[in-house]
Amino acid sequence: MRAAVRLWARRAAALGLVLLAGCSGGGRAPDGDAAPPVSRAQLALEPGDGAQDVPVDGRVAVSVTGGRLLTVRLADDRGTPVPGTLTADRTGWTADHRLATATAYTLDAVAEDAAGLRAVQHAGFATVAPEHTFVGFFTPEDGSTVGVGMPVSLRFSHPIADRAAVEKAVAVTSDPPLEIAPHWFGDRRLDFRPRAYWPAGTRVTLLLRLKDVEGAPGYLGTQDKDVHFTVGRSLVAAVDLDAHTMTVRQDGRVLRTLPVSGGSPEHSTYLGTMVVSERFEVTRMNSQTVGLGDEYDIKDVPHALRLTASGTFVHGNYWSDPAVFGAANTSHGCIGLPDAKGGSADSPAGWLYRHTITGDVVEVRGSRGDRVAPDNGLSDWNLDWAHWTAGSALGRS
């Protein structure tokens, strides 16, 4: 799906990029089947998804009508939870503490109605930064373990005019040592990657020395921080849209070949190399969020792996005819795998979800479809090395 972070998406939300679940094989149940039941619980989150410059002493709250809250989690960009208080009747929740400045937060709530049907809602927002400063929101998270395709991505809270000064204040190192180069995507995003995928087991460090660096006239950086992450095992999923298959290899060995259904001729799937940036055990996909009108609205898409910011996912599909998997491309641009309503751990989609972490690679090929843009999600690998290194403001690698 091609219309226009978690952390990448959470930080993207901190910069005003609202990442929306996009595609599916359609919102209608198969002919002759009743529409799936929908929870009567209606959640409201404050601030809303994508909110920027939220006051640090502003209200953070969750309310539900037609049901009761089961869980609420507010966490900052390090994953540190912020405590809150539930009302006695479990229809409301408010944060207990003042928020930090210039910080990306995620707010997730789960509720259920009287029939036990669950509703889920997610919001990502960012608090206000002090006047005339800027910060870089980084992906991946400090202390995380990621797949071999994960670039280091920085998104800045203010447009950078002096890219050379900012780039000089940022470094990425690895153990074992690798050739790592930066590339600017516009004036708010700076990514780093090696020439090829990270070797499994690599230890990577991001050095942010932005404090007092003038990134734009009158705007000073505030960060002096080291970020560490580890590259786990190598997992690469190769999708052949013409053969309707996904071959999953771990450390070069084939684990499994799965049947898939990609984008239809009218809504072809992007070709190229994409990287898993988020994982959702269940999420909502609404065609209005990606400019496709009222074609579908599925509130419980299982086992969803985000590939692009514009709404391309690999996800479970329980509503399409099982015969399409491995045989036909019928979706609105996503890559669907067989699954059951509610998500089955034993389904192809459930199996893939269990074996996948953020940073894992999905390589898509086929005879039709556009190539994914390198700045759409974490698709950095679609630039060859010469074009990648040309994107450095310092002309360095």
Task: Catalogue the active-site residues.
Answer: 315, 334
Backbone CA torsion sign across 292, 358, 185, 137: positive
Residue type, 358: T
3-state secondary structure of 172: strand
Contact between 22 and 3 under an 8 Å Cβ cutoff? The reply is yes
Other CB atoms closer than 10 Å to residue 253's CB: what's the count? 8
Contact between 248 and 255 under an 8 Å Cβ cutoff? The reply is yes
For residues 153 and 191, give the distance between their C-alpha atoms in angstroms, rounded to a whole number: 4
3-state secondary structure of 122: strand
In the chain, alpha helices (H): 7-14, 163-168, 348-355, 385-389
Other CB atoms closer than 10 Å to residue 387's CB: what's the count? 11
Other CB atoms closer than 10 Å to residue 3's CB: what's the count? 17
Closest CA to 315 of 266, 278, 267: 278
* CB burial of residue 36 (10 Å; 0-12, 13-18, 19+): middle
Task: Read off the tokens for 227.
Answer: 């970020």
3-state secondary structure of 348: helix
For residues 100 and 317, give the distance between their C-alpha atoms in angstroms, rounded to a whole number: 39
Contact between 101 and 128 under an 8 Å Cβ cutoff? The reply is yes
List the beta strands (DSSP E) in 325-360.
Answer: 335-338
